[in-house]
Structure 1
């Protein structure tokens, strides 16, 4: 599938969101955790930071080592049907198309693929900890795709209950999965993040150079949350679109870009290309006026410390 054709899916699309019995207009404020500092210790802390910064000797790191014996595991959680009584979670028709595309793409990139269907919360958590406890010493990296309904505050739905994104990522932190310490942990999430629709604006076509900042590894010690990349189908509070016949625009575009450029571009550039293709080429088509001609854009958060080439 060409990357151009995969993005032009403007047939009737269904959002991967949760319809609740509560007022859909209700919103929750984002909670931002910040480290507090008193007046008494602020000066000493500044001195300490300055001292540490003066001691740091930057090292220029280019690429992750991707020539181990095996590429690694690519785990797919495909949640199609649900049995939660407190919410109305519709069947996610079209998700099997996404699973098939992901499996094919992952195998092309050298991954060993494991797929799971309609698991309950405890089953998913048990699977993730089981995978984390495996010996990944001879693996390049780990990847996971989560195809499900979602909601605010990183809520993702198992077949029977709510989960959070950190339930998937936490087992793979460097202090818990030491054989993947310093190696990429990649998560791709096809799910709504609330029920807002992206607003549209007409702009002139523009082009800009992509600037990739080089990351530097200052010391041998690594933060336990380093080397994660989380790629999400949409921005916070918004719908993620899925088509019953063609799959989701995010997953299909992601697979198309990885298939075509996965061995030539680093992952940051690949995902930026996915963002651009979805933003410019996708538009929803629906018989409902409120859901018609809507746009979307994926987003990714990177804590990678090197460039990643498959």
Structure 2
């Protein structure tokens, strides 16, 4: 998982128990001196461990669906909600070309996700670090700083560069695909088990991090019970409402609705499920928020028509400006607190 290593531990546990012989995971690799991601089937504990850490860039997980269909052993799939949706769609189509897909996948493990970046993030990291050939990239390196304020660790062949987390947060506001902003499934509800950060839950390890586990069905619940009984993991029970509130689901609902309305007003077709969400959720559309969403979508689409150099120049200029503004706001708020305390 994003923090406590529960996905890694769960996969290794299942391998040792011979319930699975492989797992569909994502690794970061360097191809032609360019950092990217690659979906593959890990078949050893070492390969599982090597696929650790969150990857915040797009990955085509289902490109190897036909390879899964040809396997003669069961595997687990680890994916974001969009990956799990795609997998379920393939299975439900009952396509004869992938008829064994469902039977070969024993578990679906979902990661809680609030969106990712375009590959422009890699270009930004290269430019910022002056490392032109990135061989490894840890978006949230909790060994540098801490869990909450983890740095981005950009690794070259002989050196590395640590970038403060505020750059990563700023990238979210510039190059997160608008499609992520209309995704209704942050919590990965179609997985057997969802894993994520324990935001808003009392008592989690703020230095090294912990994991949130949400079992979605009897299969997922039974697996976690077995792991607890065998001492493979430790856990405490928290309420689902506490977990959901910590993930700021009400904010996500509002974002989904406003970006859906923005997409519609710009003439784009939207997923039918979003139409259902609009009907079922009694959230008033705020004109200002809708306008901001329209502006974000339009700016994003125009930006991605430009060449890489212009995109990076825009990102750097935008982030530099935002960081200065945030620093000014911080100083003003600090001065106001001092004045308030004196009076």
So what's the TM-score if we normalise by structure 1?
Answer: 0.29
Q: Which has the higher helix share?
A: 2
TM-score in terms of structure 2 length: 0.27
Return the index of the structure with the highest Cα Rg.
2
